[in-house]
Every structure is written in structure tokens, then in C-alpha cells.
Amino acid sequence: MAENPTLDIRPDDVVVTAGDIEIGRYVFAPDAPAVESPKPYWHPLRALDGGLVTGYRPWDHRWHKGLQMTWTHVSGDNFWGGPSFVQGEGYVWLDNVGRIRHDGFSEVVASGPDVGMSEQLTWIAASGQEWLSETRTHRFPILDRERGYWVLDFATTLRNIRGADLHLGSPTTAGRPAAGYTGLFLRMPRAWTGGEVIAAGDRTAGDLMGRAADWVGFTGQHDDVDGGATVLAFAGTSSAAPAIRWFVRSEPIPVLAPSPSFDQEIVLRDGEELALTHRHVFLDRVWRAAELAELAEELHP
């Protein structure tokens, strides 16, 4: 049965509920060490049966926090958190970690058919200079309890306010092969390590790394409740020239991101904007390839 979730704006976060299940919490005032690049994030995200689909501050990467919009390499600064990849040196801890500040909500629809929120944010470099202004929206257009899934639509517009060009890249554009992670990044629970990656043409995680695909599915088994779940992520759109390519790993850690600058930098001139849109679908059981492909066709934005 189709229905709508509800939003509750609190001092530091937004709670999204479907009936008696908290399906999402958006933390917009994070309490995180500077080296983790404090920024808003979604965690926990849950399927409609309560099964957890996000991981938070895992020991291997403390800066991985659920689902978050971020960027690894921005004109020498790191809005990702942790060390930065440097050609010839590997990963190095540098004094270059920026942060993303939530400035306020410009629109909130707490209930009804158009549930969602829009917010304003500022990307602040390690120097303290403001480099990017951002308008970000989160919408919840579909919640289908009978079929067991809900949909999160994410859109962002980034505007260069630095006063000089910004180069948006990744570890791969900095010289590390197959490490183009950046953009809207999802860290899944450790229990999902080794989960199945599904895409058209029976492609695996290894086949998809650095490749373009309309959508990718990722399945995993829960630790906390019986059964498993599936995340269906669509590549979405970018206003920049580089194609969106997937960064996906099932092992040694379960991660998924449609990367806007996997292996090619985006140069954003002063005053220019970059617009991105993405869709994630959270399903309360493990879906097989054929049925997931049908759903992907049905829900393609």
C-alpha cells in the first residue's frame, strides 16, 4: 500500500518515520573530529521492516558515515575526511581537511504527498575560506508498504564562490587506479561485506568499478533482525561533462557511490554551478536480479 512518511525537525537532525519505524535520520549538525571532515549525513537508514542498511564510523574508515554527500579532492583540499592520496607517497595525513556547514532549511514539507526538505550549505576549506555554496534537496516520493520499499531522491547544486577555479577530482584523478570514490557515498553495515552486487548484464562489483551503468543493486543480510535487504541506486544525472561512473566494492568493505569525477576532473569556474541528481531505493528483502531489473525499469527517474 502506498503512503507517505513524515518528517520531524529536531535541533540537530531530521527523523523520517513510516508508521512506527524510523526509516531515516539526517544529522545536519554533526559532532565529529575535524579530521573526519564534519558534514551532514544520513544514518541510520532502515528498510521498512527495521533492518539497518547503513554503517557508521567503522574502525577501518571513521569518516564513513551512512549516506553522505562529499568530495575527496577539491583543489588540494579534502572534504572526505582522513588522509589524502598523494602521487608517489600513497595516503598521507595532511592539514587539508575541510568541512560542510548546514546553514538552514529553506523548505520543509513534513507530511503529505510532497514530503521532503531543501537546505542551504557551505563548503569551507581547511584555511577557513568558503569555497562552495550548496542547495540540497531530499524528497520521499514513494513508500510502498505492500511491496516493501521506499524511495529517497537527492538533488544538489554546488556553486563555486571561491573567487578562483575549483578542480573536483578523486584519488584516481590524483593517480590511484580504481579509486574514483567521491560524490554521494553509501557505506553499508559490516554484515553486508561480501553481499551480492547486481546490475544489467550479470556484471559483478569488479566488472562495474569505474564503469557507467544506469543502476546498481546491492544485497546483504542483517545482523540485528532476520532476513536481509536490498539497496537499488540509480546513477542519476550530472550537469558536468564526465560520465557518472560507479565506485562499488563488496569486499573488503561494502560501499557504493555514483561518482561524478571517477577518473576525470570537473573544473568549476568562479560562479559556475554543478548540478547532480540521484535516487536510492531501500527494499526490505533480498531481491534477485530479474525482479530487481524490472523494478529498476519501473522506478527509473
Q: Beta-carbon neighbour count of residue 242 at 10 Å?
A: 18
Confidence of residue 173 (pLDDT cuts 50, 70, 90): very high
Taking residues 10-18, report their average pLDDT: 97
Residues 6+ apart with CB under 8 A from 204: 197
Task: Identify the pLDDT of residue 129.
Answer: 98
pLDDT digits (tens, 9 = 90+) for 253-290: 999 999 999 999 999 999 999 999 999 999 999 999 99
Measured distance CA(31)–CA(191) in Å, rounded: 25
Taking residues 179-188, report their average pLDDT: 98
Task: Identify the pLDDT of residue 70.
Answer: 97
Q: Is the dihedral of CA 268, 271, 272, 277 positive or negative?
A: positive
Confidence of residue 206 (pLDDT cuts 50, 70, 90): confident
Measured distance CA(75)–CA(165) in Å, rounded: 8
User: Cell numbers at residue 187, please?
Assistant: 557505506
Burial (Cβ within 10 Å: 0-12, 13-18, ≥19) of residue 65 = buried
Confidence of residue 201 (pLDDT cuts 50, 70, 90): confident
Measured distance CA(233)–CA(215) in Å, rounded: 6
Q: Taking all residues of the chain, what is their mean pLDDT, rounded to a whole number?
A: 96
Angle at 132 between CA 301 and CA 135, to 5 degrees: 40
pLDDT digits (tens, 9 = 90+) for 101-140: 999 999 999 999 899 999 999 999 999 999 999 999 999 9
> Buried b / exposed e across 82-95, counting CB within 10 Å, b at 16+?
bbbbeeeeeeeeee
Percentage with pLDDT > 90 across the chain: 95
pLDDT at 197 over 90: yes
Confidence of residue 1 (pLDDT cuts 50, 70, 90): low
Task: Identify the pLDDT of residue 2.
Answer: 67
pLDDT at 11 over 60: yes
pLDDT at 230 over 90: yes
Q: H or E element: which one contains 220?
A: strand 215-221
Task: Identify the pLDDT of residue 203.
Answer: 78
| Position with higher pLDDT, 130 vs 225 | 130
Angle at 279 between CA 118 and CA 70, to 5 degrees: 65
Residue type present at position 30 = P
Three-state DSSP at 290 gives helix
